Structure formats: C-alpha cells, structure tokens
Amino acid sequence: MPVSEISKTANSGVAEDTQPAIVIQEVTKSFGPQRVLDGVTFHVRRGETLAVLGRSGTGKSVLLRIIVGLQTPDSGAALILGTNMAEADEKALAAARTQMGFLFQHAALYDSLTVEDNVAFPLAHHRPDMSVSEKKDRVRDLLHEVGLDGHLKKMPSNISGGMQKRVGLARALALDPVILLLDEPTAGLDPISSGEIDELILKLQDQHQMASIVVTHDMVSAKTIATRIALMDKGKVVIEGSFDDLQRSDEKFVSQFLHRDF
C-alpha cells in the first residue's frame, strides 16, 4: 500500500488494536553521501516485540529516532498510531509521543534530578489531573516494578549502569505507553544484568501488551525477548521473521551474523 494511502487510513482515527501500532514504510535517510536507511519497511502490532539487529552504523538507532520524531526521514513514512511523525504538527507530535516510551542507549537520565524526579518527569508534565501523592505512589510502583525500591532519592551518577537502565525503563513506562522503544537495553551490561533486564522487559511486555521495538546487538537477548527479528545490513532489512526463520535462512550475511561464520 502506498504511504499516502496508509497515512489517509491511519489518520482517519485512533488505530484499532488490529491495526499495527507502528508502520514503517519505505523509510530512507542519508547523512551527507552516506545512506544509513534505504527503503526500510515493517510494522509492529500491540503485544509484539520486534528486535532490530544489525552491524554498527546500519541506522538502527536512527530508525528509533525517526519513529519518535527526533529526526525526519528523507522519504517514506513512520506512522505511529496513525500519526505520520514527519508531517505532524506540534500538538499531534506531542500526543503521539505521550503514547511512546523511549529507553535511550545510555539511559539519558536527567543528571540534575534524583531517580524519583526522573521517573516523575513525564507525570509532572503530562498528568495535571494527578495529585502530588498520586504521582509519588505511581513513581514508587514503577520503581518497584523495575526492582529499584529504596533508590528514590539517589542521583543517577550514584547508581550502576544496569540500575540507570532500569530507571530509564521506569521513566519510559510512566505514562503507560502503547509503544515501547528500547535502544540497546543490554549494551555495556554484564551477562547477569543483561539477563535481568531481558526478564524485566518480558515481564513488562506480558503485563502491558505494548508494541515494542528493541534495537540490539545481543543475539541472546533478541532470542529471549523478541517475537520477531529484523536483521539489517547496509540500511536495508535483509530478513524479518522468528529466530527459527533466521536460523533456517541460507543468506550468507544472516549466517555470519548468527553464527559468526566468516
């Protein structure tokens, strides 16, 4: 279906559960002469987790930034719950963003705020209907959910990388999003912490039934948390399917990536 038609259909109202929450249609993006995304197309429905794998510099993080509207594609469209992020006005963009939770690669916690205030940040700006005590309770619940009880008053610089990721995850979940975007959630973590983060993502996905995209290099993590895997090379999706589909593939790049078979 052409982008314009998808856009028309999607913009006609709030996307139903049967429709994909995220539609990426023929997205291209270049930085100078370097094309990092070259006609990327996929979709993600609620309850699904798509792991996007690929070599460094293949535009995986750029794809997430396009989805959240931090960058615009050169062509193609990212339709988020019916909103074309590149063409949306400020109000529509803000409405779409409140439906998304984004965990940045290095957590991107606000270093001048405590853990509690970091998690409360989206609530403070988007939930004027909640009282201060309701917000505090919500923050406590979220931090309990990610296993960080008792760390409310700590500054981000005083907690470990794994804990920072958990705080980032709690912040991403603060507004009860429909879409969860995770940029390398296990990068830089030891295997035990990575496993804990994976379990946490699985638990949250089970509880909240979000449409999730996880950008990762970690094949074990992708196998654990993803319902589908998209493998990217040179800005294109080489293969998309279950882990078993990838294993059955006789594409050379897929084999190299999965088995380090050179």
Residues with Cβ within 8 Å of residue 27, at least 6 apart in sequence: 37, 39, 40, 41, 63, 66, 73, 75, 76, 77, 78
Smallest gap from Cβ 126 to another protein, in A, equals 7
Residue 125 vs 153, nearer CB to another protein:
125
Of 24, 40, 86, 109, the one binding another protein (CB under 8 A) is 109
Smallest gap from Cβ 117 to another protein, in A, equals 12
Binding pattern for the stretch 45-84 against another protein, x by CB under 8 A and - elsewhere: --------------------x--x-x--------------
Residue 123 vs 258, nearer CB to another protein:
123
172: Cα separation from own chain's centroid: 9
Q: Total residues contacting another protein (rule CB under 8 A)? A: 25
Question: What is the Cα–Cα distance from 223 to 257, expressed in whole angstroms?
Answer: 13
Of 89, 111, 129, 261, the one binding another protein (CB under 8 A) is 111
Q: How many CB atoms lie within 10 A of CB 229?
A: 25
Whose tokens are 């979940």? That residue is: 173
Distances (CA, A) of 238 to 27, 182, 249, 261: 14, 21, 11, 17
Smallest gap from Cβ 65 to another protein, in A, equals 8
Of 11, 28, 30, 98, the one binding another protein (CB under 8 A) is 98
Smallest gap from Cβ 241 to another protein, in A, equals 29
126 binds another protein (CB under 8 A): yes
- Exposure b/e, 132-158, CB count within 10 A at least 16 = b: eeebeebbeebbebbebeebbeeebee
**Residues contributing to the site for another protein (CB under 8 A):** 65, 68, 70, 90, 93-95, 97-98, 100, 102, 104-106, 108-112, 121-122, 125-126, 128, 171
